[in-house]
Structure formats: C-alpha cells, structure tokens
Structure 1
Amino acid sequence: MINLFRTFNPFNALWLVIILFLSRVGYLFHVPDKLEFIFVEPFARLLVPVAYEYALSPVLNIFLAAVLVFIQALLLNYLINFHNLLGKPTFLPALMYVTLSGLFAPFLILSAPLICNFLLIWMLFKLFSLYKGEDAKSTVYDLGMIVALGSLIYFPFIYLFLSIWIALVLFKPFNWREWVAGILGYATVFFFLAVFYYLNDRIKNFGNIWLPLGTKFPDHISINSYNYLLLIPVIMILVLCFFKLQQNFFKSYVQTRKSFQLLFLIFLITAFSFYVNAAFHLNHFLLCLAPVAVFFAYYFLYSTRKWFYESLFLLLLISIICFQFNKF
C-alpha cells in the first residue's frame, strides 16, 4: 500500500476514497441517534442566529465529515508537493492525513476543529511562502485575520498566532512592521465583532472572550485507556520519523529544514492548546493532523525496509478499523 502512494499518481485518489471508507465504516455500526455539530464559539453564536446543532442526521454528518477530510487531504498533498518539502512528488501526505483522521471516533464527525483544519492548511500555504516573499506585511496581515476567523470557530485556534511570529523568525530578517501587521490583521476581525456586540447591547461582555486564556493547565487528562493502545503505532512512527529526519536534516535545503521546524512547533502549539476549552474533547487533536501527516509521509517515503514499513502501516490501519467495530 505504501509503495503505491510513494509515487504521485492521480489514480491514487480512488484508493484514498477506499481507505477513507474503511477507516469509517466500523463507526456506522455504533453511531448515536443524534450527533451535535457546533461550528462557532458561544461568544460568536449571535453571528449564526439559527438552530443548527442537530440539523444533520448522524449518517449525513459522518458523510460530510469524510468529504471534508478528503478535500483537506488533497489540499495538504498539493501544498507539500508544491513546496517540495519531501524532495519528490508523492501521495503519501494525503494517505497519512486520511488514515490519521480515523484514529478516534470523535475525529469522524463534523466539528469545529475539523472546519479549522481548512484554515490551518491555508495558513501553511501563506507561512511557507514567507521564505521567498520580499514584502511579507500583507501576507502576515492576512494570516492574522485567518487566526481571528479560526478563533471565532474554535477558540484554541488563537494560539496559532504564535506560528506567524515563529515563521517570521525562521524565514525573515526582523522587521517590526511585519510583526505588527499580524496583530492588526487579528484586531480587524475582532473590531467588527466588537461593533456587532455594541449594536446588540452586549459590549460589556466583549472582554470576557479572552478569559479562557487564563485557565490553569490541567494536571491530568481523562481519556479512555483503550485509546492509548491506538497511540502505540502512532508514537512508534513519530519516533522513527524523527530519527529519519535527524539523519537527513543537514542534507536538506535550508527552506526544507526550516519548514519542518515550523511544522514541529505548530504540532506542539496545537497539541498543548487543548486546555483553553472548559471541557476536554479528543476532537481537538484534529488540529495536529496536518503536521503529523507530513512527518509520517517523510518516514514512509524514505524508509528502506519494505516489510517493516508496510507492516507498520498495516498495523495502524487494522487497529483503527478494529477499534471502530468494537465499542469499548
């Protein structure tokens, strides 16, 4: 399977659909009678003055989520090939994204983090373009607006503002105007939100939007112990990927090295920003899919032992399918 996706072949999109189906079919046997879908934060609920939370049937909800994942996988694959981050054209980023998107049951339904992944991929397009761009102020301003839009949908997305400044440190010489441009872009969106609050006589509540940022980082996370078993192959592949990256790090182009550094820091930001939510939800980690999928793709592209990497991927895929058919 891995060898099939190592080369860039448009017909791989058909195999991608099959894997997308296999990684979701088990959940259909245990799907709840109702699935809630919330795509804006409570402070932005006034912007969507209709009841939509249960407007979709469970099957339609899962189907639309799968369609979004498929589109995001193709966009991510195009992004990685366009910037040549892996050194050769391949379909592996799309395969890894689709596979990882079926890791946990909360990943399989429509959610705010899933919607925000479109914004994250859009950000990556712009962040990687900073390396060769001469005047980055307009790009950074746009990035600030994207982060603000993502914050309206899913508030922990606000921490991805840090990725803008990190990219400026990695890709550009210091220019204070570029650093301020991102703040102005973010402020632009929330200025219009403040106007909306004012027109609805709720301006006194506007400052409460940022109160969750002061939430104490939790001492422990309550996760079903069976979910940890699914993480075993994921952690194994990540560790192997980092070893492979270390071996080839200084053989890569400067842009490639800095891009992988940026992806790693984005992974850390998205992984540790979950605490902002009052209630912990596994679907938060959908935001980690894009960088992790690229790391996985790198390992499987440059791994040399066919029997080992094929078995490892098969173990991951079978684990995902088995855990969906068994409701623990």
Structure 2
Amino acid sequence: MVFLFRDKSIINIFFLVVLGIGVHLHFFVDAPPVISDFNDGLFSLALKKYLVGLSPTILFILYIAVILVQAIRLNFVLSDLRMFQATNFTAAAAYVLLTGMLTQWCSISPALMANFLLIWLFTKLSRLYNHPSPKTLLFNTGLIVGLAVVCYHPTAILILVVLFALAVVRPFNFAEWVVLLMGILMPYYFLASFLFLRDHLDTFQLYLPYLRLNLPAATWDIPLIVSLSVMVAMLLAGLYCWQVSNKRMVIQIRKNWGVMMVMLLILLPIPFIFLHAGIESGFLSLVPLGAFAGYAFSYPRRMVLPNILFWLGLLVVIYNNWWLITHK
C-alpha cells in the first residue's frame, strides 16, 4: 500500500484524505475531544473559548483538515529542500498514520496546533546556511520560537533546537546570537506590556513554562507499549536508511537532516519534563518522526520493509479505533 504514496501525482492528495479518514474512523462514532489546560498557554485558552461546544461534525472535519494540512506542508518542505531522493508523499502518509498510533493523539489539543509553528520553524532553520540576510532570518526564527512558547509552553524546549542549529549551520557571530535572543524575547516583551497596561502584570508568571520531571502515563499497559514499539521500529528504520544514504548527500541537506535529528531528540522528552503536559504533548515529535518514517517508506527499492512497517502501524491504528469506539 505504500506504493500509492511513492510518486508525485496529485492523486496522492486524495489517497491522503482517504488514509486520514480511515485512520480516524472512530470519529464517526464519537467526535475528537478538545483538550485544554489553562497552564499550557494561549492555544489552550483559544481552544476552550472557540471550540468547546461545537458540533461533532465540525470538530471531526477540523481535526482531519488540520492533520492533512500539516502533513502536506511538511511533505512539501522536505521535497523543496531535496531531503528525499525523489519527490513523493511518503512523509505525509507517515505523518497521517502516526496521528492514530496513540489514542491520546486523537484529540484537538494545543500540541496539535503547535505543529504548524514547528513546521514553520524548521523551514526557517533550513534557510540559515549561506543566507544573504541572516540577521533578519534569525530574528524571525526567534520570533516564531517565542510565539510558540507563549502559545504552548512545552515548546520552550525548541530554544535548544534553534541554538544548536545556529551553532552548527553558521560560523560564530556574536551579533547573530543577540538578534536571535531578541526575537525569542520579543513576544514576552509585548505580553508583559499588554498585561502592564491592563494592570495584570502579577499574572505574568502564568505564561512562563514550568519544568518538572513526571511520568506522562499512570500505567504502561501492553497496547501502549506495542504502539510505542512500532513507532520506534519506524524511527529506527528511517534512521538506518538515512545513515546509509547520508554520505551521498550534499552538505546543506546533511545539515538539514542534522537539525531534524536534534529536533527529534529534544522533543521526545517533552511529556516527561513538563508538568501536566501529558502524552498529548508528544504530538510535537510527529514532525521529525514523520520525516524519518517517511524516509523509511521511500528509500528502500524493495517494498518489503516499507509494507511491513506500514501494516504494523495500521494494525495498531485498527486496535486504537476499536478501543475508542468500545470505550466511548
């Protein structure tokens, strides 16, 4: 079935829609829940104000539309950067499939919305190498990170990603580091000004991330372990395929994959280091996971490994659909 997404035909958009609906068939029985926590940032406030109480049909369409737009956008970014050997839609297919791998990800959450900013951030970081106007780009990059943190606090860990990217992609320039940090702090400057003018500056701490080690799941049952194991298998297959072909890539593409790798390593611990973030926050890792899993789907000439990985993921999705329908 992976072969359907291994070319650049526009019909693949239709296949992605079918895959998205198939992965989340349980929404025909019960609408996606809207998850919001006041301590998470502005996205939670917006979701609670505008989405809670909407009809199940609208929530269903909204969720499917969001994951499809994100998947296609990520796929186009990877294709434009020539990070895959050929233009295809495997990264988008992997992203859509992964959204159904955990039941906690089948919801409209701040992490889901934050992935728009995460994909946008990676696009900016990929342009750092030999950019003619790096300071403007760095300020905009910092601005995206600062905005992401205000909107969803667990994205504060992305500051480490942009600092690493700047250190690796460009030679050291003190002025560029200052510009990047100014961009990161700018959203908080405007937020503090707004709160001061409204005499609510004492609530400023509510918009700051709160770090605390914790376990995102109270119990680790067999279905959860199996789901995580299949995702790890997809990731390891993608890393292996990437490592095999890495030497044949030009330096800029290798640096882009390096940034994606660091993004993956930094995003994975989010559910464990942010209080109340929960497994839902792991949705942020789907951007790098989708990229590497998509590479595992597209790189091998023989279809055996991609098909095995795809059908293992599909079996997990089928079980999750059954569980969500019977436990609604």
% of aligned pairs identical?
Answer: 25
Distance 1:313 1:35, change over 3 A: closer
Aligned counterparts of 2:217 and 2:260: Cα–Cα separation in 1: 25
Distance 1:159 1:289, change over 3 A: same
Distance 1:289 1:152, change over 3 A: same
Matches within 5 A, 1:273-312: 273-312=270-309
Q: Which blocks of at least 5 consecutive residues in structure 1 are unaligned?
A: none
Among candidates 314, 317, 320, match of residue 320 of structure 1: 317
Q: Contact between 2:154 and 2:209, CA under 8 Å: does it hold in 1? A: no
Q: Contact between 1:241 and 1:295, CA under 8 Å: does it hold in 2? A: yes
Equivalent residue, structure 1, for 2:138: 140
Q: Quote the offset at 1:141 in angstroms.
A: 0.8
C-alpha distance after superposition, 1:49-79 (max 9, x if no partner): 9843623234422320110110111111110
Q: Quote the offset at 1:46 in angstroms.
A: 11
Distance 1:173 1:113, change over 3 A: same
Aligned counterparts of 2:278 and 2:209: Cα–Cα separation in 1: 19
Matches within 5 A, 1:146-185: 146-185=144-183
Aligned counterparts of 2:112 and 2:2: Cα–Cα separation in 1: 25
Distance 1:144 1:41, change over 3 A: farther
Most deviating of 1-10 and 58-67: 58-67
Distance 1:78 1:46, change over 3 A: closer
Matches within 5 A, 1:16-165: 16-29=16-29, 31=30, 35-38=33-36, 41=39, 44=42, 51-52=49-50, 54-165=52-163
Most deviating of 96-105 and 9-18: 96-105
Question: Alignment partner of 1:212: what SS?
Answer: coil
Distance 1:72 1:39, change over 3 A: farther
Q: In structure 2, what residue type is equivalent to 1:246?
A: Q
Equivalent residue, structure 2, for 1:222: 218
Equivalent residue, structure 2, for 1:268: 265
Cα RMSD for the two superposed structures:
2.5
Among candidates 223, 234, 245, match of residue 231 of structure 2: 234
Equivalent residue, structure 2, for 1:253: 250
Question: Alignment partner of 2:50: what SS?
Answer: coil
Residue-pair matches, total: 324
What is the TM-score of this pair, normalised by structure 2?
Answer: 0.90
Q: Which blocks of at least 5 consecutive residues in structure 2 are unaligned?
A: none
C-alpha distance after superposition, 1:71-125 (max 9, x if no partner): 1111111100100001221111111111111212232221111111110111111
Distance 1:37 1:62, change over 3 A: farther
Among candidates 189, 192, 196, match of residue 191 of structure 1: 189
C-alpha distance after superposition, 1:258-302 (max 9, x if no partner): 111111111122111234543242211111111111101111211
Q: Contact between 1:39 and 1:115, CA under 8 Å: does it hold in 2? A: no
What is the TM-score of this pair, normalised by structure 1?
Answer: 0.90
Q: Contact between 1:76 and 1:93, CA under 8 Å: does it hold in 2? A: yes
Equivalent residue, structure 1, for 2:12: 12
